[in-house]
Chains A and B, each alone.
Chain A
Amino acid sequence: MLDPIEMPLETPTRILVVDDDDAFRESVCAAIARDDAMVLAAQVGNAESARAAIAGGEFDVALVDLGLPDGNGIDLIREIARTRPDADVMVVTVFGDEAHVLASIEAGATGYLLKRSLNDTLGATVRELRAGGSPISPVIARQLLHRFKKDSPTPSTPAVVDDGGLSEREREVLLFIAKGFTVGEIANMLHLSAHTVATHVKHIYRKLAVHSRTEAVFEAGRMGLL
């Protein structure tokens, strides 16, 4: 879905794999091994080992499955986002459905992969992600618009970047994606590079995560927890 972006990578991207499905891990490891641009940092099958790997290991991208036998993948994503802000987290999902993906993005993930097409898309997606772009589906774009619209103070207030609201351009990009246009088509229409459009998406994801965190702090404060 993302237009390939050629970018010379001096050092291979280190990948941390967290999934309880052995066959899948093997398959991912094989895919990483096939690609010169990627190198395996660690592969773990449960949340406990994952925490150890996050605390100690060096990695640039973490592939995280949400359903782990001893914990919730969302918590792991949150932890990585907190302790390793320079790393990217990709959530591994079977259907790429809005519920799973948005929850992961709120926790701090900036990308997601469909499990079944992982072999074909892993390399491209990781490269895109490291270059600053994130994948996005029309349903997720629509939900993001909905989420930010609901939270913006008044409809007449212009969107402000810093406070968790969307900029006009970001809103425009989301709207086009929600209407089924690809990143490439949007880039053409807005006279931007495909890369810029993809970076907008990643920015929006980050905003949502920040937004969710401040919202959580606000909620906690309101409930007297802070």
Chain B
Amino acid sequence: MSRGRRVLVDFLRAPSAAWARACALWFALALATFAAARAGVPAEAPGTAPAARTITQAEFCMAPGLSDTWPDAACSWKTVDLAKVWHAPRRDVPMADAWFRLRFHLEAVPRHGLALYTVAFNRSGRVFVNGSLLREVGAMRDPLPLNWNRSQYVEVPALMLHAGDNEIEIQQRIHTWEVGWLAPVRLGSQDELRPVWQSRVFWQNDTVRLLGSCTGAFGLFMLGVWLGRRRDAMYFWFACVALSWTVQCLDSYAELAPLPPLLWEQVIESMPVLRGVLMLTFVLRYGGMRWPRVEAIAWAYFLLGAVAIFGDAMPPIGLNLWFLGSLVASVFILVLQVRLGLRRSRLEGVLLASAGILAMMLNTHDLWMFSEDTWADRFYLAHFGASLYLIVIGTILVRRFTESFNAHENLAAVLEQRVDEKAAELARNYEQLVEARRNEALALERGRIMSEMHDGIGSQLTMALSLVRQLDRDAHPERAGEDGRVATVLRESIEDLQLIIDSLEPVENDLLTVLGTLRYRLQDRLGKGGIDLQWNVVDLPPLPMLTPHSVLSILRIVQEAFANSLKHSGASQIAVTTRLQGEAGVDEMAHIGIVDNGRGIDLSRGAGRGLENMRRRAAALGGRLKILSQPGRTEIWLEFPTLRPGPA
């Protein structure tokens, strides 16, 4: 990261950095947001501890070669301010060394010795006190460890110090392609400086490790989702963004880069632009937008820079412009993303906007920090914003995933319900079909019997009646129009057959049609007998119990009642009455009354065969027959249950 940092530092120190400073003012909020985080860092309190001091000047010299021992006087020592940023004098060797000498005065040697603390130290080195080696800060051989973001804390035992002037010598070693630096060095008691160092390690290394792991876990989860749902490419692209961020975080806390140092540096340098392109692709997939040209331009932009970086041909100004382009694009991506979020829900849009803007503000804070050259306490914030931003997007994706999962479940439930409804409907239709088929079969059978009776026995009986009447007429011309005994039997047979056929007719559960049919058949005889028929009926609801069987029983009972009136009573008036009594679904009865004004039935002699039959048939209907007879008025009432269901 060191070369990138250097480039940025140069860039921001230039007059063109004014824009960054201007922008920074706007992002004071970012600082406020992380005031809480900063609160964890004990504030520097100069003067409270007598030994506390910051050394801001040192003697500096670059050794011609690598050495484990103190450079001789030939090394051209000069005094420099800390922080000191230094370049390797030649690049044809892999590593270069530089030496710092820090002088300080002690009135007395503290009992527990001293502590030495510096926030920025690049890259590896050794600490000597008064000429004796105290500690190695990172390994000194190639590859050098990742130390750019690691503060250094070294405890100096009292034994190595003495009252009066003391000096600390620091050896630094870098790869020749990068820059080395040493921030101002603080000296103090261990109790004072150890918590400062620990807090910094927590906020700048451990927290980044945690956040990087979080986004990594998110990324892996999304990768798993994508593996199960290849169609939803957005999960894949988000996984790429998140995992690339995890790799980037590695640079901030890992002891040793997972790649050779130069290659790692190149990867890390190209990472921000790569992540921008991945983010753009993700947002486009998320929004279901196809902008192949924009995507192609973005990838070409990335590849161009990447080729230059890996080919070690990227000039510093080129790298700056490359980052700047990516920065502008990221604003555009954020706007696009917030609009998409708002389309789905206000909360989503607001979350994305705030997380994205916060990430940008914190980024700017870090840039501003570079430009101000505040080496004393470099507190990087970009990690928090970027991680938070990714976690917000990841959460939205997970929510969207679970939402579609729920929607699918609901859909399945709705489908199941529809299938059930359809199945029920089919069952109903099937029942209706079966019923219709049955009715059809019955009608067909009825038609067959009808036509048998009509063309067969019916025709023959009619022919026989006609012949007998002819014979009767020839034998007894004086009794013309009166049927003889044989003719009467034949006629009654035909009439009975007629009754059976009438009972099979489709009356659609209308009792009045049943009775009307009988009236229609008897019309001629009533007319001939000069009998006045009164049709005192009330309309009745459809009675499902009127099957051919029960219709025949009713017809026979009523016909018998008519026969009584016609044959024996000498009545001149017959009234037919209908009515309903009782409550449907409980005890509803239909009443049919045949009332004449004849001489009456002598019930005292016991019921005749006709009445006996009527009673039997009435009982078969589940009903009863009531007869009230006196001279001049005879009432025959048939009462039977309608078996109608009550109102629902």
Residues of A within 8 A of B (CB): 1, 21, 23-24, 27, 67, 93-95, 97-100, 115-117, 119-121, 137-139, 142-143, 146, 177-182, 185
Contact = CB atoms under 8 A, between A and B. Distances in A.
Q: How large is the interface on B (under 10, 10 to 19, 20 to 34, 35 or more residues)?
A: 35 or more
Interface string B36-73: 00000000000000000000000000000000000000
B510 A99 contact: no
B466 interface: yes
B134 interface: no
B524 interface: yes
B576 to A, nearest CB: 8
Interface string B254-269: 0000000000000000
Given A67-B455, A139-B507, 17 more contacts: A27-B470, A93-B454, A94-B453, A95-B450, A95-B502, A97-B501, A116-B462, A120-B524, A138-B519, A139-B513, A139-B517, A146-B508, A177-B516, A180-B537, A180-B576, A182-B523, A182-B535
B539 interface: yes
Nearest to B524: A117
B190 interface: no
Contacts, number: 104
Given A117-B524, A179-B537, A180-B512, A94 B517 contact: no
Contacts of B450: 95, 97, 99-100
24 contacts: A23-B466, A24-B462, A67-B455, A94-B454, A94-B494, A95-B450, A95-B498, A97-B502, A97-B505, A98-B505, A100-B454, A116-B494, A138-B516, A138-B517, A139-B506, A142-B506, A177-B516, A178-B513, A179-B516, A180-B515, A180-B535, A180-B537, A180-B576, A185-B535
B458 A95 contact: yes
Contacts of B491: 116
B512 A121 contact: no
A94 B516 contact: no
B453 A95 contact: yes
B524 A142 contact: no
A93 B451 CA distance: 11
Contact of A179 (B462, B523, B539): B539
B106 interface: no
Among A1, A98, A99, A180, find the residue whose CB has the most chain B CB atoms closer than 10 A: A180
A28 B519 CA distance: 26
Interface string B515-531: 11101100110000000
Among A67, A121, A138, A181, find the residue whose CB has the most chain B CB atoms closer than 10 A: A138
B463 A24 contact: yes
Nearest to A30: B470
Contacts of B502: 95, 97, 139
Given A67-B455, A95-B497, A142-B507, A137 B517 contact: yes
B523 A138 contact: no
Contacts of B519: 138, 180, 182
Interface in B383-405: none
Contacts of A116: 462, 465-466, 491, 494
A139 B465 CA distance: 26
B193 to A, nearest CB: 96
A23 B520 contact: no
Contacts of A139: 502, 505-507, 513, 517
Among B510, B517, B539, find the residue whose CB has the most chain A CB atoms closer than 10 A: B517
Contacts of A95: 450, 453-454, 458, 497-498, 501-502
A94 B507 contact: no
B515 A23 contact: no
